Chains A and B, each alone.
Chain A
Amino acid sequence: MIKKLRNLKLTPGLILRLVVGLVVLIYLGWRIYQTAFGEGTYGPDTWMRFLIAGLIVGGMYALIAIGYTLVYGTLFMINFAHGEVMMLGTYAGYFALEAFASLPAPTAADPNLNFLNAQPVIALILTFVAGAGVSALMGYLLEKIAYRPLRGAPRLVPLISAIGTSIFLQNAAQLLFGPQRRQYQNPDFLWRGTGWMIPVGGKDVMLTYTGLFSFVLSILLMVGLFILVRRTKLGKSMRAVAENKQAAALMGIDVDSVISKTFIISGILAGSAGVMWGIHNGLFNHYVGFIPGIKAFTAAVLGGIGNIPGAMLGGMLLGLLESLGPALLGLDFQLKDVIAFTILILVLIFRPSGLLGEALSEEKV
């Protein structure tokens, strides 16, 4: 340990990092002490509400973050347009729900019943299929059109192409569907703003049905993905491609098709997250993918990019930090994005490999 310290290169960057780190730590400690023992601005029920909100949004971040991580793992590029893939999923889910709501399914008891409320489970499943399907298709096309011709180019080139695609998709959505905000039409049993009341510290905190639904679904999807990557042949070939494309190709793996499938899987997860976003938050427009996209990337980096459990952990953590952070630091809630970006910067400065990530070798850099 001491020898390690002695061999440390004491660059100005390192000194600065140490200073910044100390300042941040001291400030954090002071704030946490303040909020815990000093001022009593927030009661336990408020903290509980923050916690629940954080977990729900964290689940969605995690799903999108997995997409970033999967693509980064195989191609070593940031799929900047991933947020837009999610946005298109949100639109697809919206249109599916609108279609089901306008489809009449009258019964004797209720002649005005529509398909959405007559068969809510089937309708929801189909909505998710629509959202995930459109996003998967987008992911596939994205890779095929914007990234595949650039494989082997310098690293900046595909990144700029990704930025271009992102701008294109965002504006295409605006031109196609208009700039106004739209509202998701949920089935009655998942109505927004309804939920269970949990008594915390003498007050009731609401656990919304949509929130619980999103959270459980995101956990299920993550488990599914984990099994896919760990247990199936596709998962094995994905890991092989991530490790070494040439060697994988020599072992008879169709690298192009594996990369395509990676994009499809990340599209499915992003699309599902998009539909959840709509169901839980209701209002959305063509910008819906941008901020979650960047946040999810932050989450992926936080957990260690290229590492799937890392992305899950990072997503959850970021959701919690964003929700608890402003209160914990005594800052305004309009600064929650600042907190997220600051976390990203701090993580990259102090632990560029992320919480669970391993240091990347030079070839992968």
Chain B
Amino acid sequence: MKTSLKKGLSSGVIFGIVFIFLLLIGFINVGSTMIGDLLGNTASGRLPVNNLLTFLAVLGVLTGITARNGLGESQWWQALLGGLVAGLVSGVLAWLAIWLTGTLSLQGSEIQTYLPNMDPADLNYLRFYSTPLAAANTYLLYFVGFSVAGAALVWLLSIKGWFVKCWQACRNGVSNWKGTKDLSDVFKNRWVMLVIFLAVAVALYFLPLAWGSYWNYIMGTVAIYVILGLGLNIIVGYSGQLVLGFGAFFATGAYTFALLTAPTPHGIGLNLWLAVGGSVLVSTLTGLLLGLPILNLRGDYLAIVTLGFGEIIRILIKSDLLTAVTNGPKGVTNVGQPTWFGETFNDVNYMHLLMLLVLVALFIAKRLKDSRTGRAWVAIREDQTVAQATGINTYRSKILALMLGAAFAGLAGALFASRNQFTGPEDFTLMVSINVLCIVIVGGMGSLPGIVLGAFVLKGLPELLRELEDYRLLVFGALLVVMMIVRPEGLWPAPRVKFDKPAEEPMQDLAPEVKQ
């Protein structure tokens, strides 16, 4: 009884506040429009109210589910009570918000100067084009009704137990399937692997041809971020050094490539492949120079110092001091582009090139991870003092990690500048570094498939959800916190390397020696 009330109350308050927050940031309109697009319920002129009601219903059901989730089996009246309390509390908060904003907007107050999303037209839609009081009552009703429905849903699932059983059966099935020896042995067969590899290669070759240039652009960005993520993964994921200024290496790579190939401001016009080498080299050296003095700092100090370093690089590129070298805030245009039998690369060629380089980067990252060097990095991440006492030169190892990571970033920078044919200081804000860090963390630190997945989720998905553009960073921030609390190991944690017991030493080798 008491827990039901308490949980209902807290769930109600949380969802009430979430509702008000969504209202104030203008997400309710956007969300409703998206639901409309999804259900094919769009109209020109007056926006259909159904979409808004569907959105509210979803929110209400979530309120009810949260109020009852995790309480185990319960009586029907407990579920009803919890759902009702949650719905009432959140409904009353929503009621207040809608009534207040509606009345204020109708009275012609200056509410929009302070809260820019309180647009009269939007508010009119949120009021279902009716009076504030009537609209607010509808909101209350919806919250109460659907919260109870959500609670009932949870109750039904828990009381019958069939959902749980179904879930368990599913899991057992999966684990049984995973456990089958024959199936995993199939993948060890070289020929099978070769066929799979060829199939993937063919698919990868034809996809860019089928996609069209818009998709090639998005996937190209994803590919560049995969390379960046793999680089930062060496530093953060393997050796455990939190570097927040990774964008600095990206920037040095892009600028080196741009300045070596672009006609202005220097007009060096270097061979492109040499320029790529130059970018990688300059970024690596930057990593070395930055690493030498700071890599024996503690974790969080290192984070801040590298953050500062990233900002220093960006400000310096922009500053009057280096305008002669970097072209200042205007950036560098007409960056060199690769050619193929005399023809400049088009989007499909770029995509193929990027895919190839991603595969190479994955290969290198994988081999590094499984080597003596990679194990030393992980040891440093786990316990630096002990790693050093085990004979690892931790300082040198960390510098090596930073340099190799920076080399990846240099390569990504060169590709970025070449594909965009432009590079400017605002391409390398702190957000770039944080984006890459998010990819590594959300994907799973130290996990190669995780990073590919992370790049798709964080760079690919937002492109698909164009309406969410404004809300992307907000979701990013929330996602980082939630990930750290719920699943700190990432979406796809690094698989553990298994070593097979080596076969017994054959004894014949000894025999001839004995004879002699």
Pick the residue among A12, A150, A172, A362 that contacts B25 (CB under 8 A): A172
Chain A residues with Cβ under 8 A from B305's Cβ?
A: 344-345, 348
A20 beta carbon closer than 8 Å to chain B: yes
Tell whether, in the assembled complex, residue B485 and residue A338 are in contact, meaning their CB atoms are under 8 Å apart. no
B24 beta carbon closer than 8 Å to chain A: yes
Task: Pick 26 A–B contacts, CB within 8 A, sort by A.
Answer: A11-B395, A95-B114, A145-B481, A149-B485, A150-B485, A156-B236, A156-B242, A159-B303, A160-B437, A160-B484, A164-B479, A167-B477, A168-B477, A171-B474, A171-B477, A175-B470, A177-B115, A177-B116, A298-B304, A334-B319, A335-B316, A337-B312, A338-B316, A344-B304, A345-B308, A352-B301
Tell whether, in the assembled complex, residue A17 and residue B484 are in contact, meaning their CB atoms are under 8 Å apart. no
A265 beta carbon closer than 8 Å to chain B: no
Q: How far is the CA of A170 from the CA of B298 in the complex (A)?
A: 27
- The binding surface of chain A is classed by DSSP as helix
Q: How far is the CA of A365 from the CA of B383 in the complex (A)?
A: 12
B292 beta carbon closer than 8 Å to chain A: yes
Please give the distance in Å from B100's CB to the nearest CB on chain A: 15
Tell whether, in the assembled complex, residue B293 and residue A349 are in contact, meaning their CB atoms are under 8 Å apart. yes
B265 beta carbon closer than 8 Å to chain A: no
In the complex, what residue of chain B is closest to A158 when comparing beta carbons? B484
Chain A residues with Cβ under 8 A from B301's Cβ?
A: 301, 348, 352
Tell whether, in the assembled complex, residue A17 and residue B293 are in contact, meaning their CB atoms are under 8 Å apart. yes
In the complex, what residue of chain A is closest to B480 when comparing beta carbons? A164
Q: How far is the CA of A168 from the CA of B473 in the complex (A)?
A: 7
Contact residues, B477-497 vs A (CB, 8 A): 477-481, 483-485, 488
Known: A160-B441, A175-B470. A341 touches B477 (CB 8 A): no
Chain A residues with Cβ under 8 A from B484's Cβ?
A: 150, 153, 157-158, 160-161, 164
Tell me the A residues contacting B by CB distance below 8 Å.
11-13, 16-17, 20, 77-78, 95, 98, 145-146, 149-150, 153, 155-161, 163-172, 175-178, 180, 294, 297-298, 301, 331-332, 334-335, 337-338, 340-342, 344-345, 348-349, 352, 362, 365
Tell whether, in the assembled complex, residue B478 and residue A345 are in contact, meaning their CB atoms are under 8 Å apart. no
Q: How far is the CA of A178 from the CA of B470 in the complex (A)?
A: 11
B73 beta carbon closer than 8 Å to chain A: no
Q: How far is the CA of A155 from the CA of B24 in the complex (A)?
A: 35
- Give per-residue flags for B148-160: 1 if the beta carbon is below 8 A from chain A beta carbons, else 0: 0000000000000
B307 beta carbon closer than 8 Å to chain A: yes
Tell whether, in the assembled complex, residue A16 and residue B114 are in contact, meaning their CB atoms are under 8 Å apart. no
How many inter-chain contacts with C-beta < 8 Å in the A-B complex? 157
Known: A95-B114, A160-B480, A345-B305. A172 touches B300 (CB 8 A): no
- Name the interface size band of chain B: 35 or more
In the complex, what residue of chain A is closest to B25 when comparing beta carbons? A175
Please give the distance in Å from A27's CB to the nearest CB on chain B: 15
B297 beta carbon closer than 8 Å to chain A: yes
Tell whether, in the assembled complex, residue A167 and residue B434 are in contact, meaning their CB atoms are under 8 Å apart. yes
Apart from A13-B295, A163-B480, 10 more pairs, CB < 8 Å:
A13-B293, A20-B293, A145-B481, A161-B481, A161-B484, A175-B26, A335-B321, A338-B315, A342-B312, A345-B294
Contact residues, B406-465 vs A (CB, 8 A): 434, 437, 441
Tell whether, in the assembled complex, residue B441 and residue A344 are in contact, meaning their CB atoms are under 8 Å apart. no
Tell whether, in the assembled complex, residue B308 and residue A341 are in contact, meaning their CB atoms are under 8 Å apart. yes
Tell whether, in the assembled complex, residue B304 and residue A78 are in contact, meaning their CB atoms are under 8 Å apart. yes
Chain A residues with Cβ under 8 A from B473's Cβ?
A: 167, 170-171
Tell whether, in the assembled complex, residue B477 and residue A159 are in contact, meaning their CB atoms are under 8 Å apart. no
Known: A168-B478, A344-B305. A335 touches B319 (CB 8 A): yes
Contact residues, B104-156 vs A (CB, 8 A): 114-117
B36 beta carbon closer than 8 Å to chain A: no
Chain A residues with Cβ under 8 A from B294's Cβ?
A: 345, 348-349
Tell whether, in the assembled complex, residue B315 and residue A337 are in contact, meaning their CB atoms are under 8 Å apart. yes
Q: How far is the CA of A204 from the CA of B45 in the complex (A)?
A: 63
In the complex, what residue of chain B is closest to A21 when comparing beta carbons? B293
Please give the distance in Å from B54's CB to the nearest CB on chain A: 23
Chain B residues with Cβ under 8 A from A95's Cβ?
A: 114
Tell whether, in the assembled complex, residue B114 and residue A341 are in contact, meaning their CB atoms are under 8 Å apart. no
Known: A337-B311, A338-B312. A175 touches B480 (CB 8 A): no
Known: A167-B434, A332-B319. A352 touches B297 (CB 8 A): yes
B476 beta carbon closer than 8 Å to chain A: yes
Q: How far is the CA of A98 from the CA of B115 in the complex (A)?
A: 13
Tell whether, in the assembled complex, residue B315 and residue A334 are in contact, meaning their CB atoms are under 8 Å apart. yes
- The binding surface of chain B is classed by DSSP as helix
Tell whether, in the assembled complex, residue A345 and residue B300 are in contact, meaning their CB atoms are under 8 Å apart. no
Please give the distance in Å from A149's CB to the nearest CB on chain B: 5
B64 beta carbon closer than 8 Å to chain A: no
Q: How far is the CA of A83 from the CA of B410 in the complex (A)?
A: 31
Q: How far is the CA of A17 from the CA of B479 in the complex (A)?
A: 39
Q: How far is the CA of A362 from the CA of B298 in the complex (A)?
A: 11
Please give the distance in Å from A348's CB to the nearest CB on chain B: 6
Tell whether, in the assembled complex, residue A345 and residue B309 are in contact, meaning their CB atoms are under 8 Å apart. yes
Chain A residues with Cβ under 8 A from B26's Cβ?
A: 175
Tell whether, in the assembled complex, residue B296 and residue A13 are in contact, meaning their CB atoms are under 8 Å apart. yes
Q: How far is the CA of A294 from the CA of B463 in the complex (A)?
A: 31
**7 closest pairs, A vs B, by CB?**
A164-B480, A168-B477, A341-B308, A167-B477, A178-B116, A175-B25, A161-B484
Q: How far is the CA of A355 from the CA of B24 in the complex (A)?
A: 45
B161 beta carbon closer than 8 Å to chain A: no
Please give the distance in Å from B151's CB to the nearest CB on chain A: 24
Q: How far is the CA of A175 from the CA of B303 in the complex (A)?
A: 28
Known: A175-B474, A335-B315. A146 touches B320 (CB 8 A): no
B187 beta carbon closer than 8 Å to chain A: no
Tell whether, in the assembled complex, residue A77 and residue B320 are in contact, meaning their CB atoms are under 8 Å apart. no
Tell whether, in the assembled complex, residue B316 and residue A348 are in contact, meaning their CB atoms are under 8 Å apart. no
B21 beta carbon closer than 8 Å to chain A: yes
In the complex, what residue of chain A is closest to B313 when comparing beta carbons? A338
Q: How far is the CA of A349 from the CA of B302 in the complex (A)?
A: 10
In the complex, what residue of chain B is closest to A342 when comparing beta carbons? B312
Chain A residues with Cβ under 8 A from B116's Cβ?
A: 177-178, 180
Known: A146-B481, A165-B481. A175 touches B471 (CB 8 A): yes
Chain A residues with Cβ under 8 A from B488's Cβ?
A: 153, 157
Tell whether, in the assembled complex, residue A341 and residue B311 are in contact, meaning their CB atoms are under 8 Å apart. yes
Q: How far is the CA of A95 from the CA of B111 in the complex (A)?
A: 12
Q: How far is the CA of A172 from the CA of B307 in the complex (A)?
A: 22
Chain A residues with Cβ under 8 A from B479's Cβ?
A: 164
Please give the distance in Å from B76's CB to the nearest CB on chain A: 32
B240 beta carbon closer than 8 Å to chain A: yes
In the complex, what residue of chain A is closest to B21 when comparing beta carbons? A172
Tell whether, in the assembled complex, residue A331 and residue B395 are in contact, meaning their CB atoms are under 8 Å apart. no
Pick the residue among B395, B434, B437, B471 that contacts A13 (CB under 8 A): B395
Chain B residues with Cβ under 8 A from A160's Cβ?
A: 437, 441, 480, 484
Pick the residue among B27, B297, B478, B483 that contacts A348 (CB under 8 A): B297
Pick the residue among A16, A341, A342, A344 that contacts B292 (CB under 8 A): A16
Chain A residues with Cβ under 8 A from B434's Cβ?
A: 163, 167
Most central of B24, B477, B485 by chain A CB within 10 Å: B477
Q: How far is the CA of A146 from the CA of B482 in the complex (A)?
A: 8
B299 beta carbon closer than 8 Å to chain A: yes
Chain A residues with Cβ under 8 A from B483's Cβ?
A: 164
Known: A13-B296, A171-B473, A175-B474. A161 touches B312 (CB 8 A): no
Q: How far is the CA of A365 from the CA of B299 in the complex (A)?
A: 9
Q: How far is the CA of A52 from the CA of B308 in the complex (A)?
A: 26
Please give the distance in Å from A329's CB to the nearest CB on chain B: 11
Chain B residues with Cβ under 8 A from A362's Cβ?
A: 385
Q: How far is the CA of A341 from the CA of B474 in the complex (A)?
A: 27
